Structure 1
Amino acid sequence: MPLVSVIMSVFNVKKYEYLLNSVNSILNQTYKNFEFIICDDGSTDSKTKEYLERISKLDSRIKIIGYKKNHGPGYSRNECIKFSKGKYIAFQDDDDFSKKERLEKEVNFLNKHPEYSFVGTIANVFDKNKIWGTFRLPEKPQKSDFLWNSPFLNPSMMFRADALKAVHGFRVTKETRRAEDYDLFFRLYAKGYKGYNIQEILFNYRIDIENEKHKKYRPMKDRINEAKVRYGGFKVLHLGYRSIPYVIKPIIIGLIPAPIFYEIRKKNIDNEQ
């Protein structure tokens, strides 16, 4: 029986190279007692199925599941969780990659610290050209750390399976479609579960920063939905009136010209390169 279930959601894979590098970063971990469940979230292209067939032949620990209609990453991860057998569940995105010691260090942390129900790490931020910054997060996030953004990097996380199942995994609704990670952490903290961020770079998180200059903003309806998630999350965490400006933060950002927001985002990620 595997101790760890690594889960990944894919939809219309951009590049096989990205997917392969991500999968290999798990297969090459120093920690070996895991299963790897990859869910095809109703991809509409033919190449993704071909890519996953290739991937499935790399290692017997890989299990491919899927369905025909796209439902979003929250639903897809929930399907993976249903199939999982591990005591711990680790996330991995299909275009990022983990340092080889990531799973070992997260398993060791959860084994030694029963007071914590999930653990993540800080990360390098990279694009196709280079590592260009560091994604820093608080070591022991408190409720107030949720005000600006989620204090956890979702694809770097490992959870106790019973904690995830106690909150019924991801909440799949229209309002959480672009904020399902944030919503999950709100609900975990509201139930008394706590998380920790290992202050070591064990993950590489892809943000193609130059593309951000030209990328269209998320539709305003998505920003309004995130504001609803924030309102509900701040309410269950009892953050009071001080949270009101942070509820409307995604709407305000949607009104900022793209070049200005690009500079703000770049500065907010610690650039050490």
Structure 2
Amino acid sequence: MLNSSPKVSVIMGVYNCAETLSQSIESIIYQTFSDWEFIICDDASTDTTYEIAYQYTKMYPEKIKLLKNESNMKLAATLNRCLNAASGQYIARQDGDDISVSNRLERQVSFLDAYEEYMLVGTGMIPFDERGDMGFRIGKPIPSRVDLPMNNTFMHATIMMRNKGYTILNGYRVTKRTRRAEDYDLWIRFFAAGFKGYNLQEALYKVKEDESAFRRREFKYYFDSAILVFQGCYTLKLPIKYYLYTLKPIIVGITPRYLVKKYHKYRAQKYIRKLV
């Protein structure tokens, strides 16, 4: 039986990630912070993802709850199912092919406990592939609404938000336009609500960025992102100059994948050079 009032609910939507799921789940199980519940929802996987997750629910029945979609609902709807089952004071994200550094939850809980004016806290991110780590990315400490057209202000998979924040924002929007940009849509509504967030200046989350991750980024999703950038500028009443960033997703979408990957790798390595 799950703890009825954990400090943190970790939510994870999974789909066909059997090869990486065990390592991802265990990165939460072995956190230095232990007052958590883990809500996993399988989005109608066609491999052994559900079976692997089910084995962990048998080993940790008091900590892990497993849900299953009857059909493939995509990430936003899957995360909403997790949110409906979550009872923690804080909600943390995790993806099935990524890894949380062992003190991630501890550091984020400490921050939200200490600074009530912030609705969420994110962390830096370490991209990796089959050859190993590729540097790291650190976001702006206190992003504001004017940062949103230029960059994704928070790295979605790293965030921990107060449960009441998700309630006020009514979770993730499930629309065709937000099918691969549910996080960007969330940030538009986050800033429109007057919320503040913070990015810890340390990389506490490892994100898998192999060749398959880049191949999944079809042009139609970049076009959707461009529309969302426009909507964000309009909703947040930004000056006209920010509307130029509507072109950014389009430019990225028509750029060859190998160049996009090289650019991401360059940005990650740039942070390391700044620290040397």
TM-score by length of 1: 0.92
When residues 267 and 70 of structure 1 are mapped into structure 2, their CA distance, relative to the original with a 3 A threshold, is same
**Could you tell me how far apart the structure 1 residues matched to 2:250 and 2:135 are?**
26
Given that residues 176 and 183 in structure 1 are in contact (C-alpha distance below 8 angstroms), is that contact kept between their aligned partners in structure 2? yes
Q: Distance in 2 between matches of 1:206 and 1:261?
A: 15
Q: CA deviation at 1:130?
A: 1.2
1:169 to 168, 171, 178: 171
Task: Number of aligned residue pairs: give it.
Answer: 267
Say yes or no: does 1:5 pair with 2:9.
yes
C-alpha displacement of 1:217: 6.9
Aligned ranges for residues 137-176 of structure 1 at < 5 Å? 137-176=139-178
Instruction: Report deviation, 1:46.
Output: 4.5
Separation (CA, whole Å) in 1 of partners of 2:81 and 2:187: 19
- Identical amino acids, percent of aligned pairs: 37
Deviation of residue 41 (structure 1)? 1.2
Give the secondary-structure state (helix, strand or coil) at the position aligned to 2:157. helix
Partner of 1:225: 224
Match of 1:181 among 166, 180, 183: 183
Aligned mates of 1:74, 1:83 — CA distance in 2: 15
After superposition, give the CA deviation of every residue in 1:46-74 in whole Å (9 maximum; x if it has no partner): 41222122222231200001121111111
Say whether residues 1:235 and 2:239 are aligned partners. no
Q: Match for 1:6: what amino acid? A: V
Question: How far did 1:216 drift?
Answer: 4.0
Q: Identify unmatched segments of 5+ residues in structure 1.
A: none
* Residue in structure 2 matched with residue 24 of structure 1 by the alignment: 26
Alpha-carbon distance in structure 2 between the residues aligned to 1:167 and 1:161: 10
Q: Which runs of 5+ in 2 are unaligned?
A: none
Matched to 2:237, the amino acid is: H
Aligned match of 2:60: 59
The 2-side partners of 1:200 and 1:215 are apart by 25
Q: Secondary structure at the match of 1:86?
A: coil
Amino acid in structure 1 at the alignment position of 2:218? P
How far did 1:260 drift? Answer: 3.1
Note closer, same or farther for the CA distance 1:231–1:267 as it changes in structure 2 (3 Å cut). same
Distance 1:92 1:8 in 2: 5
> Which deviations, in whole Å up to 9, do the C-alpha atoms of 1:15-47 show, x marking residues without a partner?
1xx21111111111111111100001122x141
CA 217–34 in structure 1, closer or farther in 2 if over 3 Å, else same: closer
Q: Distance in 1 between matches of 2:44 and 2:259?
A: 36
**One-letter amino acid of the counterpart of residue 54, structure 1:** Q
Which amino acid is 1:41 matched to?
A: D
Q: Deviations over 1:224-254 (max 9, x none)?
A: 2111111111212222211222112111222
Partners of 1:270 and 1:202 in 2: how far apart? Answer: 16
Q: From the superposition, tell whether residues 182 and 98 of structure 1 become closer, same or farther in structure 2 (CA, over 3 Å).
A: same
Is the 8 Å Cα contact of residues 9 and 38 (structure 1) preserved in structure 2?
A: yes
- Name the CA distance, whole Å, in 2 between partners of 1:33 and 1:217: 35
**Contact 2:169 / 2:189 at 8 angstroms: preserved in 1?**
yes
* 1-structure distance, mates of 2:245, 2:260: 17
Q: 1:217 to 1:30 in 2, by over 3 A?
A: closer
C-alpha displacement of 1:125 = 1.7
Rounded Cα–Cα distance in structure 1 between residues aligned with 2:135 and 2:231: 32
